[in-house]
Structure 1
Amino acid sequence: MLKLKFIIPAVLIVFAGCSPKVQNASSNSSSKNQGDSLYLIFGIKDIIKTGEKVSLKFAVHNDQSTEKSFCKWHTPFEPLMSKYLDIKDENGNEVPYKGPMAKRIMPPPADSYLVVKPKEILSSEVDLLKAYQLEAEKKYTVSYNSSGISGIKATNIVTFRYTN
């Protein structure tokens, strides 16, 4: 009788992000009220001509009276390393992401978090052309898809026309 040996390699791939909860910078309480978090507001020009940067402003607001922190992974507060935006054209077709995709393990190191002081706004910009192939003479809608990773709640979507 032939003896079969099964070798089962143990491969652990951890697709990890930061905690989905926004953390209070001065405590680790996990019971947060819905209104007790950071929120995101996008900004972009209505009409952008080809050849110009397609700069999306990403502003994180802390309206609370205590410091809050969020994971900068999947935000423009770090170099472009993941698909954290959904961009669709006027027909609802998703624009393919062509940028880098980082895989990370838990727990995120301390330097992965940014602190937002009470009543403060942190902002950053990302050029959408660095990771998305936009076509001229189309209207696009942009939304944030990584609230569960960064802990930032998106409050709006933006639209713009990319034209000659």
Structure 2
Amino acid sequence: MKNRSLFLAAAIFLFAACGTAGKHTDSNVLGADTTTSAQLWAKMLIRPEFKLGDPLEMRFTIYNRSSESQQFCKWHTPFEPPMSKYLDITDELGAEVPYMGAMAKRIMPPPADSYITVKPGDSLSVKVDLSKIYRVDKAGRYVVRYVAQEISGVSAKDSVTFAVHQ
């Protein structure tokens, strides 16, 4: 029983230590830990309607609302070529639209060149064609949500919707 208690205590300590390994103490560096990400937030904009087969262009803008430069990891954002699924797109019935892009395995923590700096009070925008990386192949209404906050360090609380017609 004594050995079992000792083993349990050691296991709890080990798992607790693993949970803090990826934490950053520099508040200007944002990566896997999002405790400092309140300063960077993203907004998605998309036209309300598209014709089936047309490009589904969406603008993704990251804002820095702080008085200091902030960094975010470009992994799992449109600021790099499609290397991972960072959006959830669902139809009006809640069914997920299939992701067709690449899925890259990454080393952690991200290297320095994986970060992009946003100046105080500034923003950065990029356009992404969702039809190139998600299979939207039928008419209907769709909801887009950004779901990679834990990797990029960027918060996007709002979703966007669009309709596709024949």
Equivalent pair of 1:71/1:150 in contact (CA under 8 Å): yes
Equivalent pair of 2:101/2:133 in contact (CA under 8 Å): yes
- Deviation, 1:89, is 0.0
- What CA distance in whole angstroms lies between the structure 2 residues aligned with 1:67 and 1:123? 16
Which among 56, 59, 76 is matched to residue 57 of structure 1? Answer: 59
- Deviation, 1:33, is 6.0
The residue matched to 1:139 in structure 2 has which SS? strand
Aligned residues: 141
Q: Which runs of 4+ in 1 moved over 2 A?
A: 19-23, 30-34
The residue matched to 1:153 in structure 2 has which SS? coil
Question: 2:28: which partner in 1?
Answer: 24
- Deviation, 1:99, is 1.1
The residue type paired with residue 77 of structure 1 is F
The residue matched to 1:140 in structure 2 has which SS? strand
Instruction: Rate the CA distance shift 1:150–1:33 in 2: closer, same or farther, 3 A.
Output: closer
Equivalent pair of 1:85/1:143 in contact (CA under 8 Å): yes
Flag the structure with higher helix content: 2
- What CA distance in whole angstroms lies between the structure 1 residues aligned with 2:119 and 2:125? 13
The residue matched to 1:73 in structure 2 has which SS? coil
The residue matched to 1:53 in structure 2 has which SS? coil
- What CA distance in whole angstroms lies between the structure 2 residues aligned with 1:157 and 1:60? 14
Question: 2:164: which partner in 1?
Answer: 162
Counterparts of residues 82-101 of structure 1 (less than 5 Å): 82-101=84-103
Counterparts of residues 12-161 of structure 1 (less than 5 Å): 23-24=27-28, 36-161=38-163
- Deviation, 1:111, is 0.9
Instruction: Rate the CA distance shift 1:33–1:160 in 2: closer, same or farther, 3 A.
Output: same
Normalising by structure 1, report the TM-score.
0.79
The residue type paired with residue 69 of structure 2 is E
Instruction: Rate the CA distance shift 1:84–1:20 in 2: closer, same or farther, 3 A.
Output: farther
TM-superposition CA deviations, 1:25-67 (whole Å, max 9, x none)? 6xxxx99667x42001000000011232101110000111100
Identical aligned pairs, as a percentage? Answer: 47
- What CA distance in whole angstroms lies between the structure 2 residues aligned with 1:153 and 1:56? 17
- What CA distance in whole angstroms lies between the structure 2 residues aligned with 1:31 and 1:144? 14
The residue matched to 1:154 in structure 2 has which SS? coil
The residue type paired with residue 28 of structure 2 is N
